[in-house]
């Protein structure tokens, strides 16, 4: 699975930013993570503008602290955690009564993409999977997004969301079982 | 295997978390339950697809992001533009000052020739590209404190070796090997040979070059190991960071914290937060006002120069330069940052000059200087 490649290239970008103050590397890192992070923050804040603002601020602090960047073990996880903390703080600021729990983080998962050359699944199957993803509980959908779209390891998801690796393992198994079941069932709306 | 466990194994497979045994177990189960096959293959298709980034959206957003940074005054500078203009300046300097540099070298050779018999006087004095080698001669040059020298290597490259340094070039041979071992500080003017890279080994870094002018400072007792590039390009490999390679451009300097000097501090702290200095940094060479020769390389012109360095670091340079031992009785003085530029000054004159800038007194007892 393609985890390793992304991981390695982030390490490389991190080094180029820290050592060479390389703007091209900074831009590449921004391009690589900005959308993922904004979707994640939007799940917490329920506002795209606020989410973009938070992520942009985190990227500014990454540049400002570039000299120390090499000391960070896992930059991607570090940025996700920073975005989470800032988004939760912002959400509390905007709505004093807001309780931010794992179950209240409502992320949207990108519509499924099939490259034209590799189109193996019927539109109907894709629609079934997408519908099933949208019907997942918030927590399961969030974990699915982090594992699938952001290619995060179990232990990183666990540490980002303050849950156990076992919970990640269970939630993902339940989610995938639901998606598989949806594929063999007729579409719900047709029932 | 329970029906639930299949989905655990399948999730782990998709996310790359499954062990070999788990993959095998899953495979066997699916073979026994072909009805699962279609669903799992379909999901795998979906899982493997990477979402296409929205390039236009990202370009626009990045532009806004940089605008925001500009308002805060923290936007990234274009390093390349900066380097280019400095490179031109540097090149013209080298043309203008060639004669001066060689004049200085001649003096150095005359002073040290008696001690180092293998210095090729004719080469250094004329500056010609004489590649004649003296095979029978020893191939290790040791410079005691208080002296420096320059000489040609068998491949035609020129080396300036600073005080308290050692260069072993016994590996350079007619077969084309160009590897040397350095302890201390040396300036290299390497003859171009794209087919045969020139490699300098030190205890912490390896520097690989094709043809270029640069300085390597790797004294075991110093806080940092530095590679300063004047012209051309070099690659620096850091020994305890395998797989990492740093490419320097002209006028850049790679500074590596010397682990032998900092290991006491860092081993205490598994939490790395306490270390403020980056372990590796690339900075620019320092040029004093009204001078076109960088501080980092001024020693080859028989100058002892430093620009805003701590007195402790300066003392190490002076120890090597004047062949003395310097002891601080007042630790606050060690932190003071000073600048200076000495060539013909005696130790006493140099210390007196530094006293203009800093409030200290000194006592010279034979080969020992006490600062208080």
Contact B206, B181 (CB under 8 A): no
Minimum mean pLDDT range among A30-44, B258-272, B336-350: B258-272
User: Per the domain annotation, does B7 fall within a domain?
Assistant: yes
B180 and B160, same structural domain? yes
pLDDT grade for B263, boundaries at 50, 70 and 90: very low
Q: What mean pLDDT comes out for the span B337-362?
A: 82
Q: Is residue B124 part of a domain?
A: yes
Residue B45 in domain = yes
Q: Please report which residue ranges of chain A form alpha helices under DSSP H.
A: 3-20, 23-45, 48-64, 75-94, 123-135, 138-148, 154-161, 165-184
A125: chain B residues, CB-CB within 8 Å? 42
The verdict on B42 and B94 lying in the same domain is: no
Q: Pick from A18, A113, A129: which is nearest to B52 by CB? A: A113
Task: Please check whether residue B349 lies inside any domain of the structure.
Answer: yes
In this structure, the answer to whether residues B267 and B359 fall within a common structural domain is no
Restricting to B residues 52-81, those with a Cβ less than 8 Å away from any Cβ of A are 52-54, 57-58, 61-62, 64-65, 68-69, 72, 74, 76-79
Same domain, yes or no: B241 and B371: no
Taking the model in full, what pTM does it have? 0.52
Domain co-membership, B359 together with B244: no
Q: Which CATH architecture has domain A108-190?
A: Orthogonal Bundle (1.10)
Residue B344's domain is classified under what CATH number? 3.55.50.30
Let me know whether B264 and B310 are in one domain: no
Contacts of B72 in chain A (CB under 8 A): 60
Does A171 have pLDDT greater than 60? yes
Nearest CB to A176: which of B7, B54, B57? B7
Contacts of A2 in chain B (CB under 8 A): 48, 50
My answer on whether B153 and B278 are in the same domain is yes
The mean predicted confidence, pLDDT, of chain B is 74
Mean pLDDT for chain A overall? 86
Give the ipTM.
Answer: 0.89
* Contact (CB<8Å) A177/B15: no
Grade residue A58 by pLDDT with cuts at 50, 70 and 90.
Answer: very high
pLDDT band at B57 (very low <50, low <70, confident <90, very high): confident
B276 pLDDT higher than 70: no
Q: B211 or B33, which is more confident?
A: B33
Residue B296, domain member (yes or no): no
Cα gap B67→B44, rounded to integer Å: 41
Query: Would you say residue B26 has pLDDT above 60?
Result: yes
Write the class of the CATH domain A3-100.
Answer: mainly alpha
pLDDT for position B35: 84
Query: Which of A20, A115, A184 lies at the smallest CB-CB distance from B282?
Result: A20
Residues B181 and B252 both lie in one domain: yes
Enclosing domain of residue B23: 3-72
Q: Is B293 a domain residue?
A: no
> Of B72, B96, B126, which marks where a domain is finished?
B72
Per residue in B133-164, pLDDT tens?
444 455 888 888 877 888 888 888 888 888 88
B349 pLDDT band, cuts 50/70/90, is confident
User: Is B76 in Cβ contact with A26 (below 8 Å)?
Assistant: yes
pLDDT at residue B23 greater than cutoff 90: yes
Residues paired with residue B143 on neighbouring β-strands, in sequence order: B165
Residue B344 located in a structural domain: yes
Can you say whether the dihedral through the CA atoms of B201, B146, B143, B105 is positive or negative?
positive
Return contacts of A88-92, CB within 8 angstroms, 24+ apart.
A88/A44, A90/A45, A90/A50, A90/A54, A91/A44, A91/A45
Domain count, chain B: 3
Q: Helix or strand or coil: residue A75?
A: helix
Say if the Cβ atoms of B46 and A67 lie within 8 Å.
no
* Boundaries of every domain in chain A: 3-100, 108-190
Q: Which of B4, B58, B65 to mutate to test the interface with A (most CBs of A within 10 A)?
A: B65
Query: Tell me: the pLDDT tens digits for B92-123?
Result: 333 334 333 333 333 333 333 333 333 333 33
Question: B37 with B167, same domain?
Answer: no
What is the number of CB-based contacts under 8 A between chain A and chain B?
130
Residue A54 pLDDT exceeds 90? yes
Of the residues A56, A131, A174, the best mutation for testing chain B's interface (the one with the most B CB atoms within 10 Å of its CB) is: A56
Nearest to B43 among A34, A52, A176 (CB): A176
Contact B61 A179 (CB under 8 A): no
User: Do residue A30 and residue B65 have CB atoms under 8 angstroms apart?
Assistant: yes
B251 and B201 co-located in one domain: yes
Position B297 in a domain: no
Question: Looking at the structure, do residues B95 and B138 belong to the same domain, yes or no?
Answer: yes
Residues in A closer than 8 angstroms to B74, CB to CB, are 60, 63-64
Chain B CB contacts of A147 under 8 Å are: 11, 14-15
- B210 and B110 within one domain: yes
Q: Select from B1, B14, B39, B233 the residue whose CB has the most chain A CBs within 10 Å, as the one to mutate to test that interface.
A: B39
SS3 string of chain B?
CCHHHHHHHHHHHHHCCCCHHHHHHHHHHHHHCCHHHHHHHHHHHHHHCCCCCCHHHHHHHHHHHHHHHHHHCCCCCCHHHHHHHHHHHHHHHHHHHHHHHHHHHHHHHHHHCCCCCCCCHHHHHHCCCCCCCCCCCCCEEEECCCCCEEEECCCCCEEEECCCEEEECCCCCCCCCCEEEEEEEEEEECCCCCCCCEEEECCCEEEEECCCEEEEEECCCCCEEEEEEEECCEEEEECCCCCCEEEECCCEEEEEECHHHHHHHHHHCCCHHHCCCCCEEEEECCCCCCCCCCHHHHHHHCCEEEEEEEHHHHHHHHHHHHCCEEEECCHHHHHCEEEEEECCCCHHHHHHHHHHHCCCCEEEECCEEEEC
Please say if the pLDDT value at position B7 is more than 80: yes
Q: How many CB atoms lie within 10 A of CB B14?
A: 19
**pLDDT value for B259:** 62
Look up tokens 């020739």; give the residue. Answer: B113
């Amino acid at each position: 699975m393609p985890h390793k490649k992304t991981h390695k290239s982030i390490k490389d970008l991190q080094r180029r930013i820290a050592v060479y103050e390389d703007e091209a590397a900074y831009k590449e890192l921004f391009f690589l993570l900005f959308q993922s992070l904004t979707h994640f923050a939007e799940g917490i804040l329920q506002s795209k503008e606020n989410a973009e603002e938070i992520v942009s601020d985190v990227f500014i602090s990454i540049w400002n602290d570039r000299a120390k960047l090499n000391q960070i073990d896992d930059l991607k996880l570090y940025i996700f955690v920073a975005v989470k903390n800032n988004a939760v703080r912002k959400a509390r600021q905007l709505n004093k009564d807001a309780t931010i729990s794992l179950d209240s983080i409502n992320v949207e998962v990108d519509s499924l993409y099939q490259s034209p050359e590799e189109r193996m699944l019927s539109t109907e199957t894709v629609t079934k999977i997408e519908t099933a993803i949208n019907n997942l509980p918030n927590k399961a959908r969030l974990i699915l997004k982090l594992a699938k779209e952001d290619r995060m390891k179990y232990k990183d998801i666990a540490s980002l969301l303050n849950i156990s690796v076992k919970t990640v393992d269970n939630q993902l198994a339940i989610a995938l079982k639901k998606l598989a079941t949806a594929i063999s069932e007729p579409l719900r709306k047709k029932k | 295997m329970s029906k639930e466990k299949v989905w655990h194994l399948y999730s782990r497979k998709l996310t790359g978390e499954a062990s070999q045994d788990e993959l095998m177990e899953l495979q066997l189960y699916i073979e026994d339950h072909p009805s699962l096959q279609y669903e799992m293959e379909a999901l795998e298709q979906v899982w493997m697809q990477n979402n296409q980034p929205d390039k236009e959206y990202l370009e626009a957003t990045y532009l806004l992001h940089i605008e925001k940074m500009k308002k805060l005054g923290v936007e990234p500078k274009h390093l390349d533009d900066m380097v280019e203009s400095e490179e031109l300046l540097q090149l013209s300097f080298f043309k203008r000052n060639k004669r001066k540099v060689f004049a200085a070298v001649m003096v150095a050779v005359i002073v040290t020739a008696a001690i180092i018999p293998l210095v090729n006087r004719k080469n250094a004095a004329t500056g010609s590209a004489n590649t004649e080698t003296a095979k029978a001669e020893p191939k290790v040059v040791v410079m005691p404190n208080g002296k420096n020298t320059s000489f040609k290597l068998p491949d035609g490259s020129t080396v300036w070796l600073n005080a308290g340094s050692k260069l072993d070039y016994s590996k350079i041979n007619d077969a084309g090997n160009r590897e040397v071992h350095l302890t201390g500080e040396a300036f290299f003017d390497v003859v171009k040979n794209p087919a045969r890279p020139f490699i300098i080994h030190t205890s912490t870094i390896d520097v690989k070059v094709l043809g270029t002018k640069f300085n390597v400072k790797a004294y075991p007792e110093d806080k940092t190991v530095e590679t300063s590039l004047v012209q051309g390009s070099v690659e620096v490999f850091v020994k305890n960071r395998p797989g990492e390679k740093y490419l320097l451009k002209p006028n850049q300097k790679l500074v590596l914290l010397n682990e032998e000097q900092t290991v006491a501090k860092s081993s205490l702290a598994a939490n790395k937060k306490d270390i403020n200095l980056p372990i590796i940094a690339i900075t620019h060479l320092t040029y004093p006002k009204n001078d076109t020769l960088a501080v980092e390389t001024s020693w080859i012109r028989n100058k002892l120069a430093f620009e805003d360095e701590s007195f402790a670091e300066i003392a190490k340079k002076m120890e090597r330069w004047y062949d003395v031992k310097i002891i601080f009785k007042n630790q606050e003085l060690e932190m003071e940052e000073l600048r200076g530029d000495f060539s013909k000054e005696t130790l006493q004159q140099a210390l007196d000059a530094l006293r203009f800038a800093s409030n200290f007194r000194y006592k010279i007892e034979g080969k020992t200087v006490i600062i208080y």
